[in-house]
């Protein structure tokens, strides 16, 4: 094993000091002289035609300086990738409650609100769709964009995987499970709400501070929709107060709106959302309805899977084509089958809208498949952990997509690790026989695989730069954002390791479109792999120059060089300080700023055939939850949680463990409480008093561990971690509840009534809180 | 109205409207932006400050209510040499900081707890943090950091 100085060792996060002191400046902390406050007029109807939109009365309101609508953008601010169905502000129609219609800039937040109220906006209500099962009915009202291929406009896409004929195999199986499962939408609930600040530049361009996933995407939308050249728009990521996939499309709109207003008013314009506005306007994790059929033979060999699902993207496509695709790839779980079909259809409705969220479709499908696998094991009378061990993907196996796994497959080791850590066998046996009439315990397990980086969702490359300054400080840039997971620390560790210098020398810029190079979106847990490799290569290029300088200085060949701390040693073993080598390199005229680009290995996916190599590598993991259910109230207490993950080599341990703990907490909320309930298109929970996320007393002590397989293409053998920890949590807890109560909860979340009664109580909702919130400060 | 109080051990007098919250007074009038605004209904604790030794959500306190009283915000938490104090350093060392948005509030909650209970159990720490939401960390390393601080302070006292 190579002995590293930094990689895999504890280290202080690079941006932690300013965060613990309260001096880190998030967007909402910026104050500039003359800064205006922006606020959107938002739709109070789930589906309507904009019949009249007159902003002139708003301009009469004291303090209001400017108002914009979609007319102020090129092509009405149309944007969105891969389907361009979004607008910077609504154009012709609104499709969900909370959609921005016009945007006001004013001297105070109060004046901005008064301005939105003064706008004359006449909406003609249209019939809407709230049930995804009816989105494709022939007479369903049109929500999605018109299409020319004859398909239903509310059809967003079909995402299949085909491997043989599971129907033929299922009839042959000794045991078959055929069940429906359902997930609901989930709110990201980043503690920092959305926000952007735009400052007009002297040359007529705009500088924007945007709390978002990718400054380059924000800049691209600003450039295209406002007609600015690349150099006229600059976007910087200030510290981002949590994102989890959520600060993407919606905050690009916010950025576009303030940029437009800044250009119009020639003053800085800032917009930050209240929690209510954030929850009403923002996109969510989409809801999914699944029918899962899995079959096995008596000996416990899994034989077939037929997974059919509908995914609700709400009013816009946003990232749903990608989340749906990722979901389809993983929908059968990490197992070998004789035959497998996945058949996922994504549709438009008027339930808010769905977009990127940690796990990207996988928490949804795992809530189905990992319960079905458990139910099948139970039917066969086989221990669910043994059943998974017997059927899980191993090195050399071919997946249902047709991909042979040639390295870094640590799934069975993860299962063995959680089995041991949790004392599974003893507890599983003990909890099978309980007599307490009020409280019952259960223990449940899941297994997972999760494709690394974008996969066949897009071209996958990243660029990093590194530079030694005159004062010998080293500065890195990366186009990938760090909205919490710690990737900037990972890059500094990699650079220090490669250069053989003290990490204190190394600084990393905030992501800035003028300093960094476009590296694609910071999504899909791609930061470590893509950005890490780019940094590694940039640092290698720089080290090569320094090595030449050192060899020249020491009168030897490069291969004879040795290092002692930062210093270089030649054959004479007299140490030469790093600074002296750097100075010598300068004198030799060698460049001390380099960059590195890394492209992911080639992969391909045939969308029609439903086959190919969807990802170049997979993260594997296994989790176990131990719960206690109060049979009188239906309250579930998660007592213990065990998670073992194969993320390849772990580079930044505190960060990696933090991803496990945070992921488990987010999944626990998804399992037990979180329910974005749209009643006829109106969100019912619009703040943390009714939308409950896990607190410190809800989350148990988590036993996290890593199975460090080496991945040859990863930096130092690393893969990814940010998303996967969250992915299997809900079914892990549901499987434990099933053992405790003897009853399955097949619809998320497993709240009191579902656990207690096995059904959802019908609640009466109301549009009132949304409507009031959209009109108040 | 003129609001006079002790802020981070210094007397201050600030002219501000009487109908604003302590959070708005701190952030908008005194430009102390370390206390964060994230819900304004007292549910998240991002705005936590210590008022006369008690942890409060500053979004629920009317600004005039602090007249004559003592308020400690995250800007007032530091070591005698001006650097991070032991609690802040432990938050860094234990990996308790991710996005950081909840962190000022978490540190205030940790400090407020140790004022009253210098040697809390992990469960007592969890209960003390129950009003402070964090979406990133799962709380575990935050509990680690507060526990470590309590232990090291106890050692120093001994
Ligand atoms: S902002 Fe005060 S408790 Fe959330
Ligand atoms: S660190 Fe992000 S909310 Fe706590």
Length of chain A (residues): 777
Partners of residue A696 in chain B, C-beta under 8 Å: 125-127, 129-130, 132, 134, 139, 142-143
B56 shares its domain with B117: no
Among B50, B76, B102, the domain boundary falls at B76
Cβ of A25 within 8 Å of Cβ of B134? The answer is: no
Cβ of A658 within 8 Å of Cβ of B74? The answer is: no
B97 CA closest ligand 2 atom index: 1
Q: Tokens 């990938």 map to which residue?
A: A480
Q: How far is A69 from chain B (nearest CA, A)?
A: 28
Tell whether B97 is covered by a domain. Answer: yes
Q: How far is B42 from chain A (nearest CA, A)?
A: 8
Among B76, B97, B128, the domain boundary falls at B76
Cβ of B138 within 8 Å of Cβ of A662? The answer is: yes
CATH number at residue B31: 3.10.20.30
Q: Tokens 């500094």 map to which residue?
A: A492
Residue numbers in chain A where pLDDT is lower than 50: 1
Residue A736 contacts residue A744 (beta carbons within 8 Å) = no
| pLDDT higher at B153 or A527 | B153
**HEC profile of A421-452:** HHCHHHHHHHHCCCCCCCEEEEEEEEEEEEEC
Ligand 1 centroid distance, CA of B97 (Å)? 19
Q: Which residues are near ligand 1 (CB < 6 Å)?
A: B 37-40, 42-47, 57, 59
Tell me chain B's radius of gyration from C-alpha atoms: 15
- Determine the Cα–Cα distance for residues A256 and A236; give it in Å rounded to an integer: 14
Q: Tell me, what's the ipTM?
A: 0.98
Ligand 2 near B133 CB (within 6 A): no
B34 shares its domain with B72: yes
| pLDDT higher at A462 or B5 | B5
Total domains present in chain B: 2
Ligand 2 near B112 CB (within 6 A): no
The pTM of the whole model exceeds 0.90: yes
The structural domains of chain A, ordered by start, are 31-126+194-272 (3.90.1170.50), 287-455+605-768 (3.30.365.10), 461-599 (3.30.365.10)
Tell whether B81 is covered by a domain. Answer: no
Q: Name the residue among A17, A665, A666 with its Cβ closest to that of B84.
A: A17
B105 shares its domain with B65: no
Ligand 1 centroid distance, CA of A522 (Å)? 29
Q: Name the residue among A29, A484, A697 with its Cβ closest to that of B127.
A: A697
B39 CA closest ligand 1 atom index: 4
B72 shares its domain with B90: no
B135 CA closest ligand 2 atom index: 3
Report whether pLDDT(B28) > 70.
Answer: yes
Residue A11, pLDDT score:
93
Would the CA dihedral through B49, B54, B56, B61 be positive or negative? negative
Residue A516, pLDDT score:
75
Partners of residue B130 in chain A, C-beta under 8 Å: 695-697
| Containing structural domain, residue B35 | 2-76
- Please name the residues in contact with A355: beta carbons below 8 A apart, sequence gap of 6 or more: A245, A246, A248, A249, A250, A283, A284, A316, A318, A319, A320, A323
Residue A456, pLDDT score:
67
B96 shares its domain with B147: yes
Count of CA atoms in the C-beta half-sphere (13 A) of A417: 22
Tell whether B94 is covered by a domain. Answer: yes
- Determine the Cα–Cα distance for residues A695 and A649; give it in Å rounded to an integer: 31
Partners of residue A20 in chain B, C-beta under 8 Å: 84, 88-89, 91-92, 97, 100, 103-104, 107
Please state, rounded to an integer, the average pLDDT across all residues of chain A. Answer: 94
Residue A192, pLDDT score:
98
Partners of residue B21 in chain A, C-beta under 8 Å: none
Cβ of B138 within 8 Å of Cβ of A19? The answer is: no
Q: How far is B18 from chain A (nearest CA, A)?
A: 16
Ligand 2 centroid distance, CA of B102 (Å)? 5
B96 shares its domain with B121: yes
Closest Cα in chain A to B83: A21
Best CA proximity match to A446, nearest among A362, A338, A357, A333? A333
Among B76, B97, B120, the domain boundary falls at B76
pLDDT tens digits along A642-694: 999 999 999 999 999 999 999 999 999 999 999 999 999 999 999 999 999 99
- Interface probe, candidates A20, A26, A194, A638, chain B, greatest B C-beta count within 10 A: A20
């Amino acid at each position: 094993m190579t002995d590293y100085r930094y990689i895999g060792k504890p280290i202080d996060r690079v941006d932690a000091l300013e965060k613990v002191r309260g001096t880190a400046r998030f967007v909402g902390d910026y104050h500039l002289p003359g800064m205006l406050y922006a606020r959107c007029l938002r739709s109070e109807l789930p589906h309507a035609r904009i019949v009249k939109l007159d902003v002139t009365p708003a301009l009469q309101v004291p303090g209001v300086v400017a108002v914009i609508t979609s007319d102020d953008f090129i092509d009405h601010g149309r944007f969105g990738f891969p389907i361009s169905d979004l607008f910077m502000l609504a154009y012709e129609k609104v499709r969900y409650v909370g959609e921005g219609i016009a945007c006001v800039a004013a001297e105070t937040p109060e004046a901005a609100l008064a301005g939105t109220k003064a706008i004359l906006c006449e909406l003609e209500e249209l019939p809407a769709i709230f049930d995804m099962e009816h989105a494709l009915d022939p007479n369903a009202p049109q929500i999605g964009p018109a299409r020319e291929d004859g398909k239903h406009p509310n059809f967003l896409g079909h995402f299949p995987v085909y491997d043989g004929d599971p129907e033929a195999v299922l009839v042959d199986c000794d045991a078959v499970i055929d069940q429906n499962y359902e997930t609901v939408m989930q709110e990201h609930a980043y503690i920092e709400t959305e926000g952007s600040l735009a400052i007009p530049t002297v040359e007529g361009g705009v500088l924007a501070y945007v709390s978002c996933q990718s400054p380059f995407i924000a800049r691209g939308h600003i450039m295209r929709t406002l007609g600015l050249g690349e150099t006229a728009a600059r976007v910087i990521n200030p510290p981002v107060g949590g994102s989890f996939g959520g600060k993407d499309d919606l905050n690009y709109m916010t950025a576009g709106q303030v940029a437009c207003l800044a250009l119009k008013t020639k003053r800085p314009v800032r917009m930050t959302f209240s929690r209510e506005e954030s929850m009403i306007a923002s996109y969510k994790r989409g809801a999914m309805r699944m029918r899962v059929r899995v079959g096995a033979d008596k000996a416990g060999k899994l034989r077939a899977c037929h997974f059919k699902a509908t995914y609700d993207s709400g009013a816009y496509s946003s990232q749903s084509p990608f989340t749906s695709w990722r979901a389809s790839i993983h929908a059968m779980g990490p197992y070998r089958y004789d035959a497998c079909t996945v058949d996922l259809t994504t549709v438009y409705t008027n339930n808010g809208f769905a977009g990127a969220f940690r796990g990207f479709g996988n928490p949804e499908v795992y809530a189905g498949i990992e319960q079905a696998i458990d139910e099948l094991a139970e039917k066969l009378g086989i221990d669910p952990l043994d059943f998974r061990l017997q059927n899980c993907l191993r090195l050399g196996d071919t997946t249902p997509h047709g991909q042979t796994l040639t390295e870094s497959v640590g799934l069975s080791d993860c299962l063995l690790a959680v089995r041991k850590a949790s004392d599974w066998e003893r507890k599983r046996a003990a909890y099978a026989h309980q007599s307490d009439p009020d409280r019952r315990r259960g223990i449940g397990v899941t297994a997972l695989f999760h494709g690394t980086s974008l996969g066949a969702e897009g071209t996958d490359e990243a660029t990093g730069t590194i530079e030694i300054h005159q004062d010998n400080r080293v500065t890195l840039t990366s186009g990938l954002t760090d909205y919490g997971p710690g990737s900037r620390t990972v890059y500094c560790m990699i650079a220090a390791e490669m250069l053989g210098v003290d990490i204190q020398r190394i600084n990393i810029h905030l992501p800035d479109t003028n300093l960094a190079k476009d590296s694609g979106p910071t999504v899909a847990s791609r930061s470590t792999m893509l950005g890490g490799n780019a940094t590694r290569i940039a640092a290698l290029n720089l080290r090569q120059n320094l090595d030449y300088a050192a060899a020249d200085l020491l009168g030897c060949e490069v291969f004879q060089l040795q290092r002692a701390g930062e210093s270089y040693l030649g054959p004479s073993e007299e140490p030469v300080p790093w600074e002296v080598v750097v100075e010598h390199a300068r004198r030799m005229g060698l460049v001390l700023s380099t960059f590195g680009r890394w492209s992911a290995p080639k992969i391909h996916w045939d969308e029609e055939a439903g086959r190919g190599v969807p990802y170049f590598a997979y993260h594997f993991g296994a989790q176990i939850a131990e719960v206690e259910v109060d049979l009188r109230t239906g309250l579930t207490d998660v007592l213990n949680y065990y998670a073992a993950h194969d993320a390849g080599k772990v580079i930044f341990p505190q960060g990696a463990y933090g991803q496990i703990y945070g992921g488990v907490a987010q999944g626990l909320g998804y399992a037990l409480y979180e329910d974005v309930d749209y009643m006829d298109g109106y969100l019912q929970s619009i703040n943390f008093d009714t939308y409950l996320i896990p607190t410190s007393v809800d989350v148990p002590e988590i036993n996290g561990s890593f199975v460090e397989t080496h991945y040859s293409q990863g930096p130092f053998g690393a893969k990814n971690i940010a998303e996967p920890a969250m992915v299997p949590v809900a079914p892990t807890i549901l499987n434990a509840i099933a053992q405790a109560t003897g009853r399955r909860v097949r619809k998320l979340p497993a709240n009191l009534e579902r656990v207690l009664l096995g059904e959802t109580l019908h609640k009466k909702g109301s549009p009132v809180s949304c409507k009031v919130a959209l009109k108040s400060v | 109205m003129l609001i006079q109080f002790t802020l981070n051990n210094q007397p201050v007098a600030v002219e501000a409207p009487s109908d604003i919250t302590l959070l708005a007074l701190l952030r908008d009038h005194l430009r102390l932006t370390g206390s964060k605004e994230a819900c304004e209904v007292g549910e998240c604790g991002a705005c936590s400050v210590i008022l006369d030794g008690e942890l409060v959500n500053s979004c629920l306190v009317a600004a005039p209510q602090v007249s004559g009283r003592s308020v400690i915000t995250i800007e007032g938490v530091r070591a005698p040499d001006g650097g991070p104090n032991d609690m802040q350093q432990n938050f860094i060392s234990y990996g308790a900081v991710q996005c950081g948005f909840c962190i000022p509030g978490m540190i205030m909650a940790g400090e407020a707890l140790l004022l009253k209970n210098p040697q809390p159990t992990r469960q007592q720490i969890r209960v003390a943090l129950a009003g402070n939401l964090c979406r990133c960390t799962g709380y575990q390393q935050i509990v680690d950091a507060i526990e470590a601080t309590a232990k090291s302070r106890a050692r120093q006292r001994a």
